[in-house]
Structure 1
Amino acid sequence: MFTTKKIGSGIGMGLSISYQIIVESHGGELSCESTSGQGATFTILLPVERSKII
């Protein structure tokens, strides 16, 4: 695991919590593409449920 955070500046739980919400709670997908020195792109896919028309 790699981080650019300074020591003592947060608990580093953001990605773990994001995974729990997106994947475990909502059945979605979370992926990351990273290029050294270029940054990262995170993709979030959430399922859509159409409401019934009454």
Structure 2
Amino acid sequence: MEKREVVVSITDNGPGISEDIQSRIFDPFFTTKPIGKGTGLGMSISYQIVTEVHNGSIQCISQPNQGTTFNIKLPQKYNRVIPQ
């Protein structure tokens, strides 16, 4: 059976994220903000929800001065459209 997934890509045209920061971006309590301005939990919690709750993946693709893309891949659980 073919593995089906839903992919959500979020892209910006900002300054990008260095490789050093990319390697730690999903670590709990990691932040680039000054002390008292951030908890460093947002990306870590997002990673846990995507990977542990939904069995998906999240990836950061970025180069300095070229923007950043986050790809979120989630397994598709339904093969039909559910009417709303």
TM-score normalised by the chain length of structure 1: 0.74
Moved over 4 A (4+): none
Q: How many residues align?
A: 52
State the alpha-carbon separation in 2 of the partners of residues 7 and 35 from structure 1. Answer: 26
Once the two structures are aligned, what percentage of the paired residues are identical? 50
Amino acid at match of 1:49: K
In the TM superposition, 1:12-27 aligns within 5 A as: 12-27=40-55
1:50 has 2:78 as partner: yes
In structure 1, runs of 5+ residues without a counterpart are: none
In structure 2, runs of 5+ residues without a counterpart are: 1-19, 22-30
TM-score normalised by the chain length of structure 2: 0.51
RMSD: 2.1
